[in-house]
């Protein structure tokens, strides 16, 4: 079983963390049991977080804000593996959509073959067009939907639609701390932040050699 960690949960939330853990575990198990093939090389850990990444993009000369209700990112305990970081507000306020949300993140991990990889071409792609880069990642995740059985497949597709709605943003983002990617890194990796950045640099260096 994966670790469902209370590492970033505040003391006032710890009293109800067992209920949060059970909600995640139920949805997580539904997703894993729905897989039609052995395409997941390990069970990604889950770290509920009381904050949310907010990024801004320029799209057709307009500033657009994107909020990340849940993300796949290197595991704080093992940078070579991926983990899922869902916001607490998503878990608590929209538990009926958690199976779809976790399924979507597992699809990303399947698309990445469970590997943490980054290259200079990845960085150039982000710098050239952040919106197109994000769309490309989503298309790769969608290509992995074929590995999910019903009803989880429909739950993932439903979440993809609902996550784009303004009402969902209002529900999940209300009273939650919005932070930058750099802020997320500092909170998640804490005293290991320098080791994490060294790890990323080593991945970039290796990509140049290949």
d(C-alpha 181, C-alpha 68), whole Å: 10
Whether 151 shows a pLDDT value over 80: the answer reads yes
Per-residue pLDDT, 121? 66
Mean per-residue pLDDT, 54-75: 85
**Digit-coded pLDDT (tens) for 79-132:** 999 999 999 999 999 999 999 999 999 999 999 999 998 766 666 555 556 667
Domain boundaries defined on the chain: 11-209
Q: Say what the pLDDT of residue 209 is.
A: 67
Q: pTM of this prediction? A: 0.92
In the chain, at which residue ranges do the beta strands (DSSP E only) sit?
51-59, 62-68, 70-75, 78-86, 177-179
d(CA 41, CA 43) in angstroms, rounded, equals 7
Q: DSSP string covering 190-209, please?
A: GGGHHHHHHHHHHHHHHHHH
What is the distance between the alpha carbons of residues 131 and 139, in angstroms, rounded to a whole number?
Answer: 12
């Amino acid at each position: 079983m994966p670790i469902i960690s209370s590492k970033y949960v505040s003391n006032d939330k710890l009293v109800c963390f067992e209920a949060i853990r059970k909600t995640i575990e139920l949805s997580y198990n539904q997703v894993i049991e729905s897989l039609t093939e052995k395409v997941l090389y390990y069970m990604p850990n889950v770290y509920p977080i009381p904050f949310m990444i907010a990024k801004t993009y320029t799209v057709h000369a307009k500033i657009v804000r994107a909020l990340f209700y849940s993300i796949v990112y290197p595991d704080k305990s093992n940078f070579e593996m991926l983990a899922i970081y869902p916001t607490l507000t998503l878990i608590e306020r929209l538990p009926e959509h958690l199976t779809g949300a976790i399924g979507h993140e597992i699809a990303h991990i399947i698309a990445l073959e469970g590997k943490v990889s980054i290259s200079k071409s990845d960085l150039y792609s982000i710098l050239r067009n952040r919106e197109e880069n994000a769309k490309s990642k989503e298309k790769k995740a969608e290509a992995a939907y074929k590995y999910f059985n019903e009803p989880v497949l429909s739950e993932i597709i439903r979440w993809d639609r609902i996550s784009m709605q303004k009402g969902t943003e209002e529900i999940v983002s209300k009273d939650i701390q919005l932070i930058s990617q750099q802020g997320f890194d500092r909170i998640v990796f804490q005293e290991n932040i320098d080791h994490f950045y060294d790890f990323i640099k080593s991945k970039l260096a290796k990509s140049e050699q290949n």
